[in-house]
Amino acid sequence: MSTTTRTNDAPLLEVTDLVVDYRNGRRSYRAVRGVSFKLERGRTMGLVGESGSGKSTIGRAILGLAPVTDGSVRFRGDELATMKRSQRRALSDQIQVIFQDPYSSLDITKTIGYTLAEPLNHHERLTREQTHQRIRDMVRRVGLPEESIHRYPAQFSGGQRQRIAIARALIGNPTFVVCDEPVSALDLSIQAEVMNLLAELQKSMGLALLFISHDLSVVRHISDDLVVLKDGLAVEQGSAEDMYANPSHPYTQSLLAASPVPDPQAQAERRRLRQAAAAGSHAPTQTPTLERI
């Protein structure tokens, strides 16, 4: 494993010229093509793009679930791409993930209390009472009653199960969490509740979040910075506020135009922009590169 000198000024996460290829026999597909960004401690980076843009692949590469063909992924100065499995496991208390489907990510045969105790038993030396207290505290923090710890995943709604998944990811006090489309499977009203919960926990716990979504309007309210992805390339990146107010790339403009708003006139203007962007996408253009961001 390569080593670096760690400093307090170094980014918590630094992705540099990341390339990810998927192979099927002799054929290969380049899912991510030279993406770079930095995530500071306590901040939230949004990765936004349509299906096939490479956003979830980037998250999986950071987690060690997708191959890194080229480039660098560093966490606290250490290269993740070349780490051994034992080294990655040692980092699992600091790097966590919240997946899109909470039901499939939870063991349906285990109670919620058992599920939340597992990471504590693996990483920390706590007494039985200390473990139970941490579990009770975490369940309350995600807005569930204490008696939830005695129940099973099938006894909860989709929104409640996602709160349980959030509790499991955060109970070990990580510094960095990958949120891979964590609200896309939920109803709109429940989405807002879960997003508000994540924002509150991010602030109170000082978490750094990588928030992956296909919906620009979803990530806007939780992200400090955004990277917009298309066909494996980062076509635009910057502060969330600036990009939402004045997106410069036509693809970013089309994503924003696809987000519904309650004002009919504003919605009509977004529809016009989306149609213009779609028409322009058929014109021959140069392949975008990171150097032009």
> Mean pLDDT in the chain?
86
Its pTM stands at: 0.84
Token pair 């076509």 is found at 235
Does the pLDDT of residue 284 top 90, yes or no? no
The model's confidence at residue 216, banded by pLDDT at 50, 70 and 90, is confident
Per CATH, which fold does 13-246 belong to? Answer: Rossmann fold (3.40.50)
Q: How confident is the model at residue 5, as a pLDDT?
A: 44
- Residue 56's identity, in one-letter code, is S
Task: List, edge to edge, every strand of the sheet that includes 13-24.
Answer: 27-39, 13-24, 70-75, 78-79
What average pLDDT score do residues 21-28 get?
89
Structure tokens of 263? Answer: 């004002």
Where on the phi/psi map is residue 219: left (φ > 0), alpha (ψ -120 to 50), or beta? alpha
pLDDT of residue 209: 97
Does the pLDDT value for residue 2 go beyond 50? Answer: no
The stretch 24-43 carries a mean pLDDT of: 94
- pLDDT over 50 at 277, yes or no: yes
Q: What is the pLDDT of residue 256?
A: 85
Q: Quick one: tokens of 193?
A: 């509740």
The domain segmentation of the chain, as residue ranges, is 13-246, 247-282
Model confidence pLDDT, tens digit, residues 75-113: 999 999 899 888 888 898 899 999 988 788 899 999 999
The fraction of the chain above a pLDDT of 70, given in percent, is: 85
pLDDT at 224 over 90: yes
Q: What is the pLDDT of residues 167-211, one digit of tens each?
A: 999 999 999 999 999 998 888 889 999 999 999 999 999 999 999
| Residue 195 vs residues 55, 81, 152, 160, 223: alpha-carbon distances, Å | 19, 30, 24, 13, 11
